[in-house]
Amino acid sequence: MVGKSERSKSKKATPQKKRAIRKTVAAQSPQKAGSGPAAKMSLAPMLSVRNGAEALEFYKAAFGARELFKIAAPDGAVVAQLAFGESEFWVADESPEHLNFSPQSLGGATARMVMVVADPDAAFGHAVATGASVVAQVEDQPYGWRVGRVVDPFGHHWEIGKPLG
């Protein structure tokens, strides 16, 4: 019977095998995917909503979002990529047949968006003036942020704030 220490020794990778493993991992790494140095990893939420076309207009008006990409179906449903500052997010009409439900269908949102801005009071006030509802007023918090929270007309919650100091 081979002892534990003998098994460990027999499984040690040779320098050639280590180089081959590193080369394989590097080739499969998401950072290396794509065609050159511009390739990057990113994560962007997709908000499911009812009335996607109205939601796009709201996010543009309330938060200054820019439309980067949009597909509209003949029935009016949309899928769109928006940007705010350097951050991107997606908006799509809910599709229960694909298990994508809006907060209105679920009776609440399952996540919150967090917007970091230079002037939370102004951004918060603008969002409310554009049709968002106040959940919590902008205030200095004991954990070192000035932040408030609104819910948009489509049921998504947005925390708008910045770190203090």
Mean pLDDT, the chain, whole residue set: 86
Residue 55 parent element (H or E): helix 52-63
Give the CATH fold of the 107-165 domain.
3.30.720
**Residue 62 reports pLDDT greater than 90:** yes
Cα(152)–Cα(117) distance, integer angstroms: 17
Average confidence (pLDDT) over 57-86? 96
Task: Give DSSP secondary structure letters for 83-133.
Answer: EETTEEEEEEE-BGGGTB--HHHHTS-S-EEEEE-S-HHHHHHHHHHHT-E
Give residue limits of the domains in the chain. Answer: 107-165
pLDDT at position 12: 54
What sign has the CA pseudo-torsion 89, 94, 98, 103? Answer: positive
Measured CA to CA, the distance from residue 11 to residue 34 in angstroms comes to 34
pLDDT in tens, 29-46: 544 445 556 667 889 999
pTM score of the predicted model: 0.75
> Looking at residue 165, what is its pLDDT?
86
